[in-house]
Amino acid sequence: MRKTKTTRYDVAEHLRTPEEMAAYLEACLDEAKGDAAFIAKALGDIARARGMAQVARDAGLSRESLYKALSGERSPDFDTILKVVNALGLRLHAEAAHG
């Protein structure tokens, strides 16, 4: 019997346009259910797709601190989230929850 070779899926490889990045973040915001670390990880995926070093420069953070903040292992400060969202050229928005 032949073995099936698998590779690790990396969503960052599929986020090519600003519209795809925004749609991915929007979907993650819907799925997060209040989990800030989940949102941080999603922003990390987008930052890796964009280029972590460039995002770090644009956000005014070191690359290392950006990796830590967006690892999904902890919840970064909201200030960091806002800096990253701005550096990525994205906007957060709010709407009334129904239900």
pTM for this structure? 0.88
Q: Contact at 8 Å (CB) between 24 and 45?
A: yes
Please compute, for residue 63, the number of CA atoms within 13 A of its CA located in the half-sphere on the CB side: 5
Alpha-carbon dihedral of residues 53, 57, 44, 83, nearest 10 degrees?
180
Kindly give the confidence (pLDDT) of every residue in the chain, 99 residues in length, as a single tens digit, with 9 standing for 90 and above.
789 888 889 999 999 999 999 999 999 999 998 899 999 999 999 999 999 999 999 999 999 999 999 998 888 999 999 999 999 999 988 888 876
**Rounded distance between C-alpha atoms, residue 27 and residue 67, angstroms:** 22
The torsion angle over the Cα atoms of residues 11, 17, 22 and 28, rounded to 10 degrees, is: -10
